[in-house]
Structure 1
């Protein structure tokens, strides 16, 4: 059985992470994704490293499996005409060029919907296609700062800290995939495509979730609180005898059980700690008491005891521990694929688990232009025309 999106054709003019992550999700689900780059390969991540495996960038490998690759020089009219030809038969076109670029090339939505009214057209930019910042380039790091994410990440001592991965890019890719799937579903009823205007800034602001809600309701600007939770206590990292663990107590019953396991039941009856509201007000004092009690056992010993009593807790794993975790292995979150240059490559698996239309790893992350002849022949170009395009450096 094919994938859930089998039969959906995606023309992917994106690079780096947000767009490629989106199209990899679609490709994992069975869509035919054609990755379009400039001749020689213009996705910057092909050169980002180390690490490389036999000259192939680990960064590029992480977001480009299950796709085909063609190279097209969009600075030429012949190259842009190739895109128009492919767009006639595509279900989806996605790009992350700066606002105005596609209009300049007559590859914008209004131009392409004339030749394909059913086209779902997704634009990913830093700030969206409206508003005073629409022409500014967007970078995950800068958006993390501007959106407020960095202002709430880290501690008062550390100062603002960015998230350890390009989370805004990844979330934008997810939102884009959801939007594309929604537009495809709606097209089944209306018969019409539509344009999707995705913004890294919008995504980052939406990801503020309860922290934004706290501010909008109270008017109080949140401060950096490290690993603590702004609304729940104890809900943080704590030092045991040999290292740190996470304790995430969500209600008064769990707190009372925690106190029992720690051998200090009366702590749960103290007026300063009996309710979550009181614990939030007296967080610093409670943290000192808990860490004193935790010093008599190792983190692993405490986690075993807490788990027996259904107290939410967990370790802080390093990357090697993550990929040695039997749960990660059981859920097939590491997959292997043969690559013609890199050899046997390990990749992070898909978190999407469908019972019938399962996600499959059918294509390695493609080399630049690997499928030029295949894709163009399917689009109606002759071998002679393809040879001429190559000779003229159009592909």
Structure 2
């Protein structure tokens, strides 16, 4: 939020945030003002209450009950400041027997089944530790959605509200904890009907053919990510194994037996040792339809050509460490862009500024705002918003489904060619992936015909948002590009999610 102009005040205890030791802390907290309040003292608690009165949003991640012990619970502050949006992020939620368990990602992930879902990746039984903070990341984005939705409602009815989310909620919902044999949905289906949904035998965590990792001649590893049949077969042709598609054992790849899959894998692994990673990538780039990348560490990734071409990494000058390379704002708004905000604050750096303002405004009554009018309160935060979802596979459709959860009307527009659509509709590949379609209306339109374009243009004229993730050049060909859409509907928000950004080769 600080990257997009909000004044964000980081409140720390005496001595500072206990997670300051983590290198990423300076990136997580960039652009914020920093103050110290001792909530164990009456003065510190009173300052916190006054500060809440000057804020639009309060965000806290303490265990349930801690804020109440300090006199800072939602019920207390909402009475004083009806316009306040109060966001709570916990490990296991506000209720239940685990509500007071410390919400560290590893504990929550183990309880939520994420680690057991990874069983079989190494050559042993049992859970696998999940090093990536998937739940925390999803919880941060859920909090962002909730805060923005609550601010929208407040603009309409004059009152804030309590926004609540948790790591366990966000591990239960996302796609990446639902897919696979140990995914939450598949496990439930097996309990209901084990004959129809049998458990697959555990292997050694071997990938699908479309996602096969390979070692090349120079020792560099390439990761492939080809989901659709034409791209999987295109990969085989590009590396000189196209003749195998005439073999009865492999012609229906990826829908082949486990035995034949492993035979084909061996052929791929052997073939890809014949050239270096750079040579293979040159072949793939010339083809244009094969998804693959060399493995990089996080430092090397910052020098990726697409990262450099799209300015996805910026340099912030931090007085403690010098020039610091970090991610640019994650969303590019063309008319009102974000800006990389300055370095993270020192402990208590802005106490004089922030607390001085409180003393000057001590006589103001911040909570004296009009009461909400029930007629103005929407049934759902995004009620009345219409979104056209033309995105495919995962990120785009899942994002639109999350907005449908908040009350938006989402119209999913699919292609009419089933050969293409089977590769795009995630429901054609795994039962768990129906999450990307839930809550939507769905139509099929052939955008390659004048009639199809006319239908979508009529929808654009009445929509609030259009979302897609087509490759560059495709939107212009289908007449759903930004310039076309803005002429039809100047109020339309046009969202594009590209894999590599709009600049670079």
Whether the aligned pair in 2 keeps the contact of 1:303 and 1:313 (CA below 8 Å) is yes
- Residue aligning to 1:288: 266
Report the secondary structure of 1:94's partner residue.
strand
- Residue aligning to 1:275: 252
- Residue aligning to 1:55: none
* Deviation at residue 303 of structure 1 after TM alignment: 2.2
- Residue aligning to 2:93: 128
- Residue aligning to 2:159: 192
- Residue aligning to 1:87: 52
- Residue aligning to 1:314: 293
Distance 1:280 1:62, change over 3 A: farther
Report the secondary structure of 2:24's partner residue.
helix
- Residue aligning to 1:37: 12
Whether the aligned pair in 1 keeps the contact of 2:34 and 2:351 (CA below 8 Å) is yes
- The more displaced of 86-95 and 140-149 is 140-149
* Deviation at residue 275 of structure 1 after TM alignment: 2.5
Find the aligned partners of 1:191 and 1:227 in 2 and give their Cα distance: 55
Find the aligned partners of 1:98 and 1:379 in 2 and give their Cα distance: 27
Provide Cα deviations, 1:61-120, integer angstroms capped at 9, x if missing partner: 120011111111101121111111111121111111111111122211000000111111
Find the aligned partners of 1:204 and 1:78 in 2 and give their Cα distance: 38
- Residue aligning to 1:22: none
- Residue aligning to 1:339: 318
- Residue aligning to 2:104: 139
Find the aligned partners of 2:223 and 2:72 in 1 and give their Cα distance: 50
Whether the aligned pair in 1 keeps the contact of 2:232 and 2:254 (CA below 8 Å) is no
Q: Give every structure 1 segment of 4 or more consecutive aligned residues whose post-TM-superposition deviation is greater than 6 Å.
A: none
**Root mean square deviation of aligned Cα:** 2.5
Whether the aligned pair in 1 keeps the contact of 2:332 and 2:338 (CA below 8 Å) is yes
- The more displaced of 244-253 and 155-164 is 155-164
- The more displaced of 250-259 and 174-183 is 250-259
- Residue aligning to 1:176: 143
Provide Cα deviations, 1:158-204, integer angstroms capped at 9, x if missing partner: 66444444332222112111111111112112222111121111112
- Residue aligning to 1:17: none
Find the aligned partners of 2:319 and 2:110 in 1 and give their Cα distance: 39
- The more displaced of 155-164 and 135-144 is 155-164
Report the secondary structure of 2:256's partner residue.
helix
Whether the aligned pair in 1 keeps the contact of 2:59 and 2:87 (CA below 8 Å) is yes
Find the aligned partners of 1:289 and 1:280 in 2 and give their Cα distance: 15
Normalized against structure 2, the TM-score is what?
A: 0.63
Distance 1:247 1:338, change over 3 A: closer
Find the aligned partners of 1:194 and 1:170 in 2 and give their Cα distance: 23
* Deviation at residue 325 of structure 1 after TM alignment: 1.8
Find the aligned partners of 1:319 and 1:340 in 2 and give their Cα distance: 23
Find the aligned partners of 2:198 and 2:349 in 1 and give their Cα distance: 54
* Deviation at residue 31 of structure 1 after TM alignment: 1.1
Find the aligned partners of 1:155 and 1:362 in 2 and give their Cα distance: 40
Find the aligned partners of 2:225 and 2:347 in 1 and give their Cα distance: 46
Of 201, 225, 228, which aligns to 1:248? Answer: 225
Find the aligned partners of 1:315 and 1:34 in 2 and give their Cα distance: 40
- The more displaced of 205-214 and 238-247 is 205-214
Structure 2 unmatched ranges of 5 or more: 191-196, 363-505
Find the aligned partners of 1:342 and 1:38 in 2 and give their Cα distance: 23
How many residues are aligned here?
345
Find the aligned partners of 1:216 and 1:96 in 2 and give their Cα distance: 31
* Deviation at residue 352 of structure 1 after TM alignment: 1.5
Whether the aligned pair in 1 keeps the contact of 2:329 and 2:340 (CA below 8 Å) is no
Report the secondary structure of 1:44's partner residue.
coil
**What is the correspondence of 1:1-395 to structure 2 with a 5 Å cutoff?**
26-41=1-16, 43-48=17-22, 58-153=23-118, 155-157=121-123, 160-207=127-174, 208-211=177-180, 212=183, 213-217=185-189, 219-220=197-198, 226=205, 228-229=207-208, 233-241=209-217, 242-276=219-253, 278-279=255-256, 281=258, 282-309=260-287, 310-381=289-360
Whether the aligned pair in 1 keeps the contact of 2:233 and 2:253 (CA below 8 Å) is no
Whether the aligned pair in 2 keeps the contact of 1:271 and 1:278 (CA below 8 Å) is no
* Deviation at residue 237 of structure 1 after TM alignment: 0.8
Whether the aligned pair in 2 keeps the contact of 1:307 and 1:313 (CA below 8 Å) is no
